[in-house]
Structures are given as structure tokens and as C-alpha cells.
Structure 1
Amino acid sequence: MNESPLLSVRGLTKRFGGLVAVKDIGFDIRPGEILGLIGPNGSGKSTVMKLIMGIERPNAGSVKVNGVEMAGWAPHRIARAGVGIVFQHSRPLHRQTVLEHIKLALLPDSLVKLAAEPHVHQRAQEIAARVGLAAVMHRHPATLPFADLRRMEMAKAIARDPQVVLVDEPFAGLTVAESEAFSELIRGFRAEGRAVLLVDHNVKSLSALADRVLAMYLGEHVAEGTAEEVMRNETVRRVYLGGKLELRQRTGAAGDAKPTILEVAGLRVLYDKACALDDVSLHVREGEFVSIVGLNGAGKTTLFNALSGLVRYQGTIRFDGRDLRGMSGAAISRAGLVQCPETRELFGDMTVLENLELGAYHLADTVRAKQLSWLFDLFPILQSRQGQTARTLSGGEQQMLAIARALMAQPKLLILDEPTLGLAPVILEQLSKALESLQKSTPITVVLGEQNVRFALPHADRVYVLEHARIIWEGSASRFEAEMGRGFLEVVPNNGSGATTSGDARTQGQQRRASF
């Protein structure tokens, strides 16, 4: 391999007001090499990609392509100099066919050279065939499935013949088979001697492709090396999993004799043409605490939004004996299924007390007062802050308020979506104690969606693992520790060519499910 890097980044820093989104990031990518960039939401991965492409201007640092400094250049200059980007979201020209999109990307910057139409047409057809679009190249984007829209973005990048290729979230919304086909296209870049920066939430798919992996967290460098080395790094595992697993023995846990309160069968959700959930089935019994574990982008929030009536779906959702199809989100909430969203959705200019009362607007005054008193016992800090506006609370206090507001509605089933996101360890301990008290003192059923396994497992009666839009595992918390604890972030070995050493991703997924 050529030792001179095609892309060299040093000291890259970006601030948005007082927030440091990227801090002193540096790396090299050589010809024929794929560098994977990983990290949870908010780590700064996409910002790094935008800084390299010129979509954002860095506050400090160097970006060199083939030895030429390009930090701060406009995106079109960087593209001309040999950098291409495959965007996660396609924004096509709807009146142009697939072939016309590729031809537009092939056109030279100088308009006087447009006479080379026959060559451009032939080259566009070759690129369409290479990415698997030959059969649909005369169709318009609106008629294409999501995977073909992603292929079109890849084709447009190939048309510019870049030395450096930036690929953003290539596997988001794709099926396993589609992900493998896309992986082959990315391996093609390596074979052609291009330098590839690959960003994705799907750690396992990314690791199967990347020669090296760089992990980020809160804008900073955490670890770098082979995928196996990075995934063994204690800081990386703590960032993704929350640290060492510590299970607690549930007393009086919901048993098999309890009736089912929530039943989901064959759930499928599409965002436009992207598949966010694929044939998801699960059940929850009354009084159970069920944790749904998955990395960012696995589909947890989509699942919860479907349960809450916020997105359209195929399949069946039954709650407390009722089919929820056609019910509004408000009606579902009044029926007793209440979600505390990942984004909290507090009213920032209203006080703590006003936010809480909104959660119980449909209750009688005496019931509301009793519920409020109970929640102030559960979250004492909220009582002392009840006259304070929500936007002035700390992040941990806002999370407590969001959970308390959901509980004010007297739910039969409470959904908690990523409640630990961005919180300090001391706040996590407070939330954990509150959940323990909730379990001991109420009959409320809880469904928790979390990436942080350390937080998700201690209270759980059962665990589902959601990966790449599908449920791949179900069992007790103790079984998870034994069967999935080490494997949750384990990567598929890369044998140097980018191919896996033990079959493709589909085969491995089947083997994993069969073994459980």
C-alpha cells in the first residue's frame, strides 16, 4: 500500500457557539484504505465529514487532499479537487431520469466541452450497470425503491471519479441483502485505490468493511486501530454499553401467568422508501419491565412512535385487548399507553408545575393533586424546582420532568425512549433508583429503549435486541449477559479484502438467531 495519504486531517476543530462539536481530530487515509468513523449520536461524526467536504468551515485545523491544503474551501472547489460524498439522504431532481442524473454528474465544469455527448452517455450507462441500476436507468426517482435511490447517490459520486470518497450512513434503511450489495460497491472503491471515509451507526457492518476504525465521543478522539482493537477498548464499550453489567434479582417479577398487555405482530414501518422496521414482533405482560436494546439507528424510536400512533405502519398492534390501528396518538395515550420521548418535548417557557399539570389535564383535581404529590416523592428535586421554567433546568432535571409528566397521565404502560442520553453518571443513578421505586410501588408496565446496556438490564424481566430494523434476540437479562454481553459489540473480522471470514451478514444473522 502507498504510504502517502490521500486524505490527511490534523487538529480539526468546529464550534457552534459555546458547543465544541469537533475537537482536535486528526487521521490519515491512504490509497486503497477504508477508515470507519464510529460513535453514538452527537459524537461529531457527520460534522467531521461536513468539514472535510467544505459544507461547514472549521474553526481550526488542516484538511489536505494529496498534499494540497483545502480547509475552508467551498464545496464545489473541494469536489473538483477530487473529493466525492455519498449523502445519506437523496435529494434528486424529480423530472430527470436516473441516467440523466448520472450524466449531469459526468458533465465537465467547462460548458464549452458539452459536445462530448456520446461518450458521456456511454459512460453513464456503464456506471448505472456497475451500481445495479441498469434495469431502472430510464425511470424517475419517485418510482424507485429506497435502495435504488442510495445506489443513484453512489453512481453520482463515482461519476466525478474522486480520489477520496466520503460515505455517510450507507446502511441506514437498507435490508441485510441490500446492505451487503452496498458493501460490495464500497469495497470496489478500495480495489480502485481510492481513500474512503465511512460513517455509520451500524458498527458491525462498518467494521466488516473498514481497515481501521476511529471512535469519537462528544467531539473528541476516543480510540483508533483495527475494528477488533477499538471494540475491545474499555472507553468505547463504556460509551456504547454504559460499562460493566450489574444485574439485580427481581422480586415479585411478572411471571408467565400474567395476561399480555401489549402484543406486536409483523410490524413494518417505512419512511418514504426506507425500511425502519421489518417484521418486528414482541409481547409484554402486565407488570413487566421489558428492555429493548439496540445501537443508534436500530429502530427503537420508530417502534415506540408506531406504538404511540405517531407513524403509519403495517402489521398489528394490540394494547389492553384493543387493536390500535386507526387510533390517534391522543386516544392511545388516554387508553393508558404513554411515551416519554427521547427528545423530551418539554415546554421550555412553562414552569415545572405547569408542564406536569399538562400531563394530567384530563384528570379530576383531586386525582391530579394526589398524582403530583406521589411524583414529588419520586423526584424530590422537581418539588423544589416547581416554579422554575423548564428551559432553565439541567439536562438531568429535564429528563426527570419528562418522565414525571408522562407518569402524571397515570399510564398502564410507560414507554421510556433513551432516557440516559447525554446524562452524567450521578443522574443515571438517580433515575435508576426512581425506576426501582416505580417497580416496587406501582403496577405500571414499563418498556425501556436503550443503547446503554448497563442502565437497561438491571431492572429488566426480559430483553429484546433490535438490530438493523429487526428483532434478533429475546431472553432474560441473565441470558443476555451470558449470550450477548460480549457479542453485542463484537465485529465481523475483516480479512483484508473487506470480505468476512465466516459468511455474509445474512448467514451470520441466521446463525446467531439459530443459536439462541
Structure 2
Amino acid sequence: MTDAGTTSTAPLQVRGLVKRYGGLTAVKNLNFDLHAGQILGLIGPNGSGKSTAMKSIMGIERPTAGEVIFQGENVAGLPAHKIARKGFGMVFQHSRPLNRQTVLENILVALLPDSLLMLFPDKQLTERAKWIADRVGLGAVMNRRPPTLPFADLRRLELAKAIAREPKVVLMDEPFAGLTMAEVGTFSALIRSFRDEGRAVLLVDHNVKSVAALVDQVLAMYLGEEIAFGRAEDVMRNETVRRVYLGGAIETSARPEVSFKDKVPALEVKNLSVVYGKAQALDDVSIHVHHGEFVSIVGLNGAGKTTLFNAISGFLPYSGDVIRDGAPLRGISPARIAREGIVQCPESRELFGEMTVRENLDLGGQHLSDQERAQQLSWLFELFPILKDRQSQLAQTLSGGEQQMLAIGRALMMQPKVLILDEPTLGLAPVILEQLSKALEKLRQTTPITVVLGEQNVTFALPHADRVYVLEHARIVWEGDPGRFALEAGAGYL
């Protein structure tokens, strides 16, 4: 438990913070103190409530209940610009610079007083802006405009604007998003320097390892609540934290790679890189998948799994090569890639909510003859009996687990040769996970379908896997069989 129950001189105190969206409680009774000269990291798996908590503190979201006390004043519910004026520096996830102004002019805007009487900066302010530009590593580009800058410099500009007014508290939402590992190291050093100057720093980022290496303390969240608080090394070893990230004990039943005799793999990805704007989403990624093999790509949220799958499916431009049965896929439309056997079941499911279960399945099997469709449906209903019982029900009325089964079922109706499953366990109850696990094992044992599974939940990803890749911060950092994963990579996964 945090020290919320004690008398504190901390510049920022969060008390009983609650944020609800209708019947969903995204943040539930969150309490913590953020002290001067301290870096506190909020971590948690996707959907844990950490970003909502940060936005509620920043003033981007209005809290449902609770207090955000800054130097004795409750600022909960104030808009972000008013909270900033109180003495907060804010680094938002997405950079929004003034593109027609230079770097120096962007920093000057952040420095200008609120009074309209002073519309132009004086010499002292200009010197201060130059000092800040140097301070964050922008001294050499201060006369350039943001559209000409690399992504890392745009993030530096956000840091510069955040510290322009000497804030007591710096709030950072995803400061490492889109940065290379080398850039993360540089930014971590900058953030440490803010702490060394006596500022209180609160940050949220999906890059758990970088957060843990940087912060003084960690508050881990799950389903909107605090589950652990303390030093990073202690929280990372906490059994509850490891269970919500990894899922539990790891059991494996891999087939050796030498048992797959194909000379040409079913799927190869060679030196694949993907950039979103200026952010590096994948960096020189290479994988191969044999015919009939079950390969798991494990990685925390934000590692690049969905980007990898979308590139394979033809949705994204990329450098490098995606090769199916020896033939490159570059330039082939996503529809043709899917028709010819690489079928992706997306994380977002993309069901037609106002159509029935049967209609959604028939869409997947529309290319089949009536007899083939009937045979495929019969096989599918053996795999997922609940879908047979729900045939006439609208997709939007299904539970989350049933919708996931329907999404996988629709993909299987396309008779894939390579089935890509993106985070199928996201938000599902343990009983549903067990049903999905049994269905995947049946697929593995009774069909020649090649499966590529992207998962954060290692306990779900490994039992069926023949081989495992670990994707971390846009790069493949480990490859091997699942038994070796437990020995070599599992301990360092968080």
C-alpha cells in the first residue's frame, strides 16, 4: 500500500481517485504520494487503468471521484491548461508542435507569460529558450521547424516545453513510445536529470523494462486497482504482478524444429522495418514459420506484434521482405493475401455486431460452395460448440469470450493455410481461456494449419507453441523452444 494514509509534504497527492465510464470502473480508489526528487512509474498490462489514471491527473479526463492535491490545493477536474499553469509540466503521448514555427519559437511560446500585454519575447526569455533547447539536446536544431526533425527530436521538444516554466511536477504519458533502445537510454538520462533538479516525475509507459530501470518506485495496476507498490526490483518480482503479465505457470509440449521437413518455409519475414510517421514500430525483424508449425510471438503491449501481423497481411508499407512459400508478397493486396491463405484474426475482432453469428460465419465462407460451407461449419461447430447454439444471436449480444470464438471461427471459415491470431486472450475470463486453449490444441493436433500467435500472456502462448520469438521494443530479442524460454527468457520478460 502507498503512503497515502500519512501526513505528507509531497507536492502531489492522489486520494481515492475514481474514473467510471458508464458501468465500467476504469480506475478504482487509487492513492499515492509523489515526492520532490522522485520518479514514480505507473505500470500494468493493457486495460489495467494506468493511462486513464494519468489522464485523470493531467486533466484530460475528469475524475468521477477523488482528489488530486497539488501543494495543498485540489486540482481534480480542472482542465489540463489550468493544471499546467499551477506548476505541472506535461509530456503527452503524441507530439503536437507548432509546425510553422522553429524549435526555438515553440519553446518561447511555452515560456511566454499568460498576460496578453506581453506578445513578444524579450532578450532574457530568448536566452532562456536557448538554454532549454541545449538542455534537452536540441541546441543544434533550434532554428529548424518540427516537420524537418527526426522523431526523437520531436519528443525532445515535448520535454523542452514541459520543463519551460520550471514545474514542480512533470507528468509523462508514454515518453518512450516510438523510440529506439539507444534513444530510450538518452531520454532516461534526461528524465533522471529532472529528478536530480528536485522535480517530482510521474510516468506511464508500456516499455516495462525501461520504466523499471529508471524509476525510484513503481505502482502496478490491474483492472483499475493497485496490486503492488514499492521499489522496481521488488514489484517486478511480485507474484501477483508476474501473474497478471505472464498469466501463471508455464507448461510446454513443443515439437522439435527438425521434425518440420519443408525446404521452403510457409512464411518468412526478412529484415522487416516499419515506421509510423517518424516512429520506428519494427526494426529489422526476421522470423520464419514452417508448414504446420505453431509459432508464438510474445511481447508486452506496444512491442510491435500487431504491426508485424499487419505488415504480413499487406496493410502497411514496409522495408524488407515478407515471403510466403518462397514468393514475395510485396505489392499484393490484403484481400488477395487473405484469399490465398494467410488469414489474420485481429485483436479488435472486427465483427459485424448487427449481424447474427451465422451471418458472420457465412461471410468468412462466402467463397465456398454450399456443400463445402456446410462441411466447414460442421467442423467449426465441433471446435466451438457454443457458436452452434448461438447461430441466430446477434454478434453484439455475445459475451467477450463468445465474440472472440466467433472472430476465430470466421477466420477459420476462410480455410486458412496460415492463421494469425493477434492477442486472442485480451480481457477474457480464465474459463474462456481454457476453452480457447483446448480449441487451439485440437487445431494443432488434427489439422495442417500453420498458426502464428501474438500474445502478451505467456502461459497461454507457450503450451501449444513449437517455437517462440520474443518481440521487445520493435526488435526480436530471443528465439527458441518454449522449454528454453522458461530457463533463459522468462525471468527477463518483465
- Please tell me the TM-score bracket, short chain as reference: over 0.9
In structure 1, the residue matched to 2:170 is 165
What letter is aligned with 2:181?
V
Taking structure 1 as the reference length, the TM-score comes to 0.92
- 1:313 corresponding residue in structure 2: 318
Letter in 2 for 1:463: V
Q: Which residue of 2 aligns with 1:228?
A: 233
Q: In the alignment, what sits opposite 1:428? A: 433
Secondary structure of residue in 1 paired with 2:401: helix
Contact 2:254 2:467 in 1 (8 A): no
Structure 1: distance between partners of 2:70 and 2:230: 22
Does 2:487 align with 1:478?
no
CA offsets, 1:459-494, max 9 Å, x none? Answer: 1100000001000000001111111122212xxxxx
**1:77-107 deviation line (CA, Å, top 9, x unaligned):** 2111111110111122221111111000000
Map 1:193-272 → 2, pairs under 5 A: 193-248=198-253, 250=255, 255-259=259-263, 260-272=265-277
Please state if 1:174 is matched with 2:179.
yes
Whether the 8 Å CA contact 1:463–1:475 is kept in 2: the answer is yes
Q: CA deviation at 1:115?
A: 5.4
Cα deviation for residue 17 of structure 1 reads 0.8
User: Paired residue for 1:514?
Assistant: none
Preserved CA contact (<8 Å) 2:347 2:424: yes
Distance in structure 2 (CA, Å) of the matches to 1:446 and 1:194:
49
What SS does structure 2 have at the residue aligned with 1:81? helix
Gaps of 5+ in 1: 490-516
**AA partner of residue 219 (structure 1):** G
Shift of 1:455: 0.3
- Cα distance change, pair 123–335 in 1 and its aligned pair in 2 (3 A): same
Residue 274 (structure 1) aligned with residue 252 (structure 2): no
Q: In structure 2, what is the Cα distance between the partners aligned to 1:308 and 1:160?
A: 46
Q: Distance in 2 between matches of 1:344 and 1:453?
A: 21
Q: 1:249 Cα deviation (Å)?
A: 5.2
In structure 2, the partner of 1:148 is: 153
3-state SS, counterpart of residue 446 of structure 1 = strand
State the match for 2:415 in structure 1. Answer: 410
Question: Is contact 2:108–2:121 with CA below 8 Å preserved after alignment?
Answer: no
The answer as to whether partners of 1:254 and 1:285 remain within 8 angstroms in 2 is no
Instruction: Please name the residue that 1:505 is paired with.
Output: none
CA drift of 1:434 comes to 0.2
Matched residues in 2 for 1:115 and 1:476: separation?
63
Q: What is the 5 A alignment of 1:104-123?
A: 104-114=109-119, 116-123=121-128
Q: Residues 249, 327 of structure 1: CA spacing in aligned structure 2 closer, same or farther, 3 A cutoff? A: closer
* Correspondence for 2:339: 334
Give matches, 1:373-412, under 5 Å. 373-412=378-417
Secondary structure of the residue aligned to 1:485 is helix
Q: Work out the CA distance in 2 between the residues paired with 1:219 and 1:76.
A: 26
Q: Which residue of 2 aligns with 1:494?
A: none
After TM superposition, give the deviation of residue 4 of structure 1 in Å: 1.9
Summarize deviations over 1:152-182 as a string: whole Å, max 9, x none: 1111101122110001111111111111111
The answer to whether the aligner puts 1:445 opposite 2:450 as a matched pair is yes
Query: For residue 130 of structure 1, what is the aligned residue in structure 2?
Result: 135
Measured in 2, the distance between the counterparts of 1:90 and 1:249 equals 44
Q: TM-score, normalised by structure 2?
A: 0.96
Amino acid at match of 1:258: D
Amino acid at match of 1:242: G
Structure 2 runs not aligned, ≥5 long: 1-6
Whether contact under 8 Å (1:253, 1:287) holds in the other structure is: no
Question: Aligned letter for 2:473?
Answer: H
Q: Is the 8 A contact 1:14 1:21 kept in 2?
A: yes
Pick closer, same or farther for the CA change 1:249–1:474 going to 2, 3 Å: closer
1:346 aligns with 2:357: no
Query: 1:85 touches 1:157 (CA, 8 Å); kept in 2?
Result: yes
Q: How does 1:87-106 map to 2 (within 5 A)?
A: 87-106=92-111
Deviations 1:302-327 (A, max 9, x none): 00000000111000000122210011
C-alpha RMSD over aligned residues: 1.4
Give the Å deviation of 1:386.
0.6
Cα distance between partner residues in 1 of 2:214 and 2:315: 35
For residue 369 of structure 1, report the CA deviation from its aligned partner: 1.3
Deviates more, 1:66-75 or 1:406-415: 66-75
Equivalent residue, structure 2, for 1:139: 144
What is the aligned counterpart of 2:49 among 44, 61, 67? 44
SS of the residue 2:69 aligns to: strand
